Amino acid sequence: MLRKVVVFPPRRSLPQRNDRRIAYIKVMKTLPEFLAELVRRPSINPMGRTDLPAELIHESRITQFLAEQFEELGVVYERIAVQPGRENIIARYSPKSPVPFTLLLEAHQDTVPVDGMIVEPFAAQVQDGKLYGRGSCDVKAGIAVMFHTFARLVREQPVGSAEVILAFTIDEEHTFLGVQHLMKSGVRADFAIVAEPTNLNIVRGHKGVVRWQLHTEGVACHSSRPEDGVSAIYRMARIIVALEHYAKQLQASRHDNFLGSPTFSVGIVQGGVSPNTVPDKCKIEIDRRVLPGEKPDDVVEDVNRYLRSRPEIDFPFQIVRQQACPALVPTGGDDFVKRLGEVIDSVAGSHRIMGVPYGTDASTIREAGIPVVVFGPGDIAQAHTKNEWIELAQLEQAAEILYRFATE
């Protein structure tokens, strides 16, 4: 089946409003089909790991699929290298009529790893109205919904619609490089919506995150004579016990009425080379969720100061900073937020405005001066889980909400 649409001519730069031609394209995949194609293409963020197969890591398979879909749709797009083999992909829809506002739709292409999953991570199995697989909820459903909204605008060319910038970025699950590059490139809009699973509610604020490594060193020797060495793991054990106390004190120390308390967690412990060698190196990776107003450098230094004050930690350790994502403060764009809420109510019946404990690309977009919210299908409780899934019924609702928001 063929359908007549207005599309942009292929060239390197983003399209201008008056530069169009007529073409014919195939009818698009349905939303569940589109989502299944995304889930079947692994895009694991290795997060520094070196044990994952090359055919599973990074976003290239998703980027290529999206490029093919843009080509089939007939629109101009840009693939922008952020790291070797890892690209943001961006397209723009500019309506013929005067533009009431410019809307940025952004979603990340990467997922967390699949360790411990009890469903086939890339099978995109559908059962009882749910699609299962890594990334189905976080956040390939959001990619599918945003692409379909964009494609519908291109096909229908509604009068009075917003100009829409569609951006799919890399590396949200680890160091946020994709959205940082996007904002540094000068992309700007009057309002932005970032895709994450919010159960079709509006997230206006969230905690930020600071992550870093802490290293201890010892002296290696044969395990039959441990008195000849110094165990870096034993040293780290003392630090971990101290950090458990620190985490409890931190959570009780302050509270934000919208976002709750700051949190602290040790997520990874690595050390040793063999059971018969006293280890000379050990490291942990730390995740600290921050509230508005907390500065990353101050957060790290507070932990450093606490550990050095503990008498049982009478040995050197090293802190290696990794990355930070600021907190999202609910400021600006009130009229857009109200409008989005009204559209959600007209499609889904009701909505809530929330603050959440997890971080997203939205805070980097807000730091660039663009009012932003987080919105999408799915429940965050299903993200990153051993049987990650999404309710397919929410896909059509989410796509209709975004389309109405851009056109009404």
**Per-residue pLDDT at 19:** 39
Residues forming a β-bridge with 212: 286, 321
Nearest to 320 by CA among 374, 364, 281: 281
> Which residues, at least 6 apart from 283, have a Cβ–Cβ distance to it below 8 Å?
213, 214, 215, 216, 236, 268, 269, 270, 271
Strands 102-108 and 191-195: parallel
Tokens 């509604």, located at residue? 158
Three-state SS for 202-219 is EEEEECEEEEEEEEEECE
Q: Going from the N-terminus, what domains does the chain have, and what CATH number goes with each?
A: 2-206+327-407 (3.40.630.10), 208-325 (3.30.70.360)
Kindly give the confidence (pLDDT) of every residue in the chain, 408 residues in length, as a single tens digit, with 9 standing for 90 and above: 333 333 333 333 444 433 333 333 455 799 999 999 999 999 999 998 999 999 999 999 999 999 999 999 999 999 999 999 999 999 999 998 899 999 999 999 999 999 999 999 999 999 999 999 999 999 999 999 999 999 999 999 999 999 999 999 999 999 999 999 999 999 999 999 999 999 999 999 999 999 999 999 999 999 999 999 999 999 999 999 999 999 999 999 999 999 999 999 999 999 999 999 999 999 999 999 999 999 999 999 999 999 999 999 999 999 997 778 899 999 899 999 999 999 999 999 999 999 999 999 999 999 999 999 999 999 999 999 999 999 999 999 999 999 999 998
* 114, HSE (Cβ side, Cα atoms, 13 Å): 22
**Per-residue pLDDT at 27:** 58
- DSSP helix/strand/coil, 235: helix
CB atoms < 10 A from the CB of 187, how many?
A: 22
d(CA 365, CA 363): 5
Strands 317-325 and 21-26: unpaired
Cβ–Cβ < 8 Å for 230, 219: yes
Residues forming a β-bridge with 288: 210, 264
d(CA 56, CA 152): 31
* 337, HSE (Cβ side, Cα atoms, 13 Å): 18
d(CA 173, CA 167): 16
> Which residues, at least 6 apart from 3, have a Cβ–Cβ distance to it below 8 Å?
24, 25, 26, 27, 155
d(CA 72, CA 175): 32
**Per-residue pLDDT at 259:** 94
